[in-house]
Structure 1
Amino acid sequence: MEFPPRKVSEDEIIAFAREYDPQPFHLDKEAAKRSLFGGLCASGWHTAGIMMRLLVDNMIGSAASMGSPGVDQLRWVKPVRPDDTLFLKGEIIAVKPSQSKPDRGVITTRYEMRNQNGEIVLTMQAKGMYRRRSAGGTAPA
């Protein structure tokens, strides 16, 4: 699965950081220059939030999603900078029907987000619970 690109602005990096991750390298250009990041960068949680928005807008929102039992792995590989354009790809790696509830199953997906230079900025492996189609081919109500 490939998702539409998403450009990240400096204003949204700072706004997210003010609200949820107020560390100097997410908030202040000058402080960020002196940090190990060498410049302003998005919170990893902001990057994960962008990924979630792409998933909901382009896949989960139109699927028979029933939530998620959790994330198995999440890595912030490289900082996301102002004006980066992010590209998300996902690959289903496992499908497991529920043994106790035949109306649902769990899909394990591996995601990779890259910037405009092709550099990996985030990887995640997560499980999603989805309604299953009935034997007749339609999803249960």
Structure 2
Amino acid sequence: MSAVLYAEDLRPGTVFELGSTAVSKEEILDFGRRFDPLPLHTEEAAAAAGRFGGLIASGFHTAALLQRLLVDAVFSRAALVAGREIGSLRMRAPVRPGDVLHGTMEIVEVRPRDDGTAVVRSRGTLTNASGTVVMEVRGETLWEHRPTGGSRGSAA
């Protein structure tokens, strides 16, 4: 595992590659049935007759996929305290069965606070295999500063 990332390791403009995840029809149907039971997420025939011409993933499902990529690639090795805010979440294109989504997280701002933490503003993006942005999230997280005497981690 890589060194722990602290607020001091983050610079505006740094982009973390989050890897990729495939979206299956079964996952779309399961998530839709459990959490967003609208026909466009749960019923293939109804979805085929709808505006999108087929089954699509719930926006909340898509956001959960981005969160998993964020945790696996960055947050699992970060001195992260908690999420603070989702400023915007834009679903820009439908996510369909068989799509492979690639994630990135860009650091927008690091704002140190007097309590040993820093507010980190970032932008998360998911794109499909054709390069179309399907989701963009802007938000804030709260990170710890490096403890006094700690060694420097690696930002990527």
Q: TM-score range by the shorter chain?
A: over 0.9
Q: Deviations over 1:51-72 (max 9, x none)?
A: 0011111111111111111111
2:18 is equivalent to residue 8 of structure 1: no
Report the Cα distance in structure 1 between the residues aligned to 2:141 and 2:108, rounded to whole angstroms.
Answer: 12
Q: What's the Cα RMSD here?
A: 1.3
Alpha-carbon shift at residue 137 of structure 1 (Å): 3.4
Structure 2 match to 1:19 = 34
Report the Cα distance in structure 2 between the residues aligned to 1:7 and 1:77, rounded to whole angstroms.
Answer: 18
Alpha-carbon shift at residue 135 of structure 1 (Å): 4.2
* TM-score normalised per structure 1: 0.93
2:136 is equivalent to residue 123 of structure 1: yes
CA contact (8 A) 2:17 2:73 kept: no
Aligned-pair identity in percent equals 36
Structure 2 match to 1:134 = 147
Alpha-carbon shift at residue 3 of structure 1 (Å): 1.2
Amino acid at match of 1:82: P
SS across alignment from 1:2: strand
The higher relative CO (CA closer than 8 Å, separation ≥ 6) is in 2
SS across alignment from 1:5: strand
Alpha-carbon shift at residue 16 of structure 1 (Å): 0.3
The 5-angstrom pairing of residues 26-65 of structure 1 reads: 26-65=41-80
> Deviation above 4 Å: which 4+ runs of structure 1?
none
SS across alignment from 2:140: strand
SS across alignment from 1:136: coil
- How many residue pairs get aligned? The number is 137
SS across alignment from 2:72: helix
Amino acid at match of 2:128: N
* TM-score normalised per structure 2: 0.84
Report the Cα distance in structure 2 between the residues aligned to 1:122 and 1:53, rounded to whole angstroms.
Answer: 14
Alpha-carbon shift at residue 138 of structure 1 (Å): 5.0
2:77 is equivalent to residue 82 of structure 1: no
Report the Cα distance in structure 1 between the residues aligned to 2:69 and 2:124, rounded to whole angstroms.
Answer: 12
Alpha-carbon shift at residue 92 of structure 1 (Å): 0.2
Alpha-carbon shift at residue 37 of structure 1 (Å): 1.2
Amino acid at match of 1:15: D
Amino acid at match of 1:30: A
Report the Cα distance in structure 2 between the residues aligned to 1:111 and 1:3, rounded to whole angstroms.
Answer: 9
SS across alignment from 2:46: helix
